Amino acid sequence: MSEGLTAADRERWAELVVQIEQARSLYYQADAPTMSDVEYDALFADLVELEARFPELASMDSPTQSVGGTASEQFAPVQHLLRLLSLDNAFSSDDVEAWAARVEKLLGELPPLLCELKVDGLAVDIVYENGRLRTMATRGDGRVGEDVTANSALIPAIPQQLTGGTTTHPIPPLVEVRGEVYLPLAEFEALNAEQRGLGLVEFANPRNAGAGSLRQRIDRRREEVEAARTSAGAARAQADLDRALARIGRLRLVVHGVGVWEGHEPAAQSEAYTALAGWGLPVSERARVVDGLDGAREFIDFYGEHRHDVEHEIDGVVLKVDDLSMQGRLGSTSRAPRWAVAYKYPPEVVRTRLLDIRVSVGRTGRVTPFAHMQPVKVSGSTVELATLHNASEVARKGVLIGDL
């Protein structure tokens, strides 16, 4: 046991695990987060720091050792060919430099970096066999995802058959691609306008709307239509099905990675993107290969200033070692590759009103205060609860009920 580990530390660890797992469930399974990305990242950083000080707390079931959520039982499970990992975060230029220094130390050099936008959507894994789409699944826990293959055919951006193979880039007998399904901002606004017109609840943000759209059971909608065909509810069931199909049709895909690739493998991730685009898969036109950190900083700064000019929501920039053999040499930890890092832009600052201060009391009597706020949109999510960390922090900030 590490020197200095107390019962209060164990209690704080347990509280952080519960809060993070609850947030993951709402984000990945319910598509209805109540915690902002900033709030989640802060809790996760607290957990990482606590486990760094007391390594015996870092059990295999800790959120720091796992990826995302679990696959819903509403969908058939799909085993990914290669595990999908998460990404380590960087919140400052110093964090980026520290990551680059680790890469340089392990490789003896800092190789060219691939810079791309971090799309705020739902991660998917698509397998093509002999050019034909075999399965599409959500990330799930990184090993097993939800089978959404049937819905892939309803998204125009996802080719069911790859074409355009060349001598340089022949279509492999088996290839696994990773990407992000997202709802463009213009489509999100149009969707919510339709919701308002029908007197239905609006979606909180594009990510939730997009994820919820993809994770619909269209087969069950069709069964409901068939069952209601001779009843008074036939028109309503058909209208519900039509809306569900229209929601899925609004979705887009951007490919941002590869898993299994049989046959002629590319030498770099940027080369893989060229091949994938040639076969009809959508890749980001904004991705850039740069030499050194100066180029990466320029990319980060540019989209920090112009992020609202992008047609979809982004929550940062991903930096990757472009050379695939070097990616292999760097390897990964239990949850994230060492060859990539996600730079997160500073949080948006918004104003809201404090409605109440509530507390949760742990088993050892540790008290953690929470702010209950007037619901406000932060980075696209509707947030009404935020941790205040401890009573002394509340007193230091002079937080009072009714404050803005």
Among left, alpha and beta (phi > 0; psi -120 to 50; other), residue 362 is beta
Size of the chain, expressed as the number of residues it contains = 404
Write the pLDDT tens digit of every residue in 288-310: 999 999 999 999 999 999 998 99
With vertex at residue 152, the alpha carbon angle to CA 148 and CA 155, rounded to the nearest 5 degrees, is 135
If you average pLDDT over every residue of the chain, what do you get? 85
Distance CA 231, CA 282 (A): 43
Q: Are strands 122-129 and 381-387 parallel, antiparallel or unpaired?
A: unpaired
pLDDT at 377: 63
Element (H, E) at 247: helix 234-249
* Residue 218, number of CB atoms within 10 A of its CB: 16
pLDDT at 262: 96
CA max distance for the chain: 72
User: What CATH number should be reported for the domain whose range is 77-185+251-343?
Assistant: 3.30.470.30
Catalytic residues: 118
pLDDT at 129: 98
Return the CATH superfamily for domain 7-65+348-397: Nucleic acid-binding proteins (2.40.50.140)
Task: With CA atoms as reference, report the closest residue to 281 among 157, 147, 383.
Answer: 157
pLDDT at 396: 62
With vertex at residue 318, the alpha carbon angle to CA 351 and CA 135, rounded to the nearest 5 degrees, is 105
The segment with the largest mean pLDDT, out of 17-26, 327-336, 346-355, 386-395, is 327-336
With vertex at residue 331, the alpha carbon angle to CA 326 and CA 334, rounded to the nearest 5 degrees, is 160
- pLDDT band of 18, cuts 50, 70, 90: confident
| CA terminus-to-terminus distance, the chain | 44
The DSSP output letter for 161 is B
- pTM score > 0.85 for this model? no
Distance CA 41, CA 273 (A): 30
Domain ranges of the chain: 7-65+348-397, 77-185+251-343
Distance CA 329, CA 102 (A): 13
Task: With CA atoms as reference, report the closest residue to 112 among 379, 292, 360.
Answer: 292
Task: With CA atoms as reference, report the closest residue to 16 among 46, 39, 52.
Answer: 46
With vertex at residue 42, the alpha carbon angle to CA 41 and CA 48, rounded to the nearest 5 degrees, is 85
Distance CA 356, CA 358 (A): 6
Q: What are the residue ranges of helices labelled H in 56-205?
A: 93-107, 149-152, 185-197
Task: With CA atoms as reference, report the closest residue to 262 among 402, 356, 130.
Answer: 130
Coil, helix or strand for 212? helix
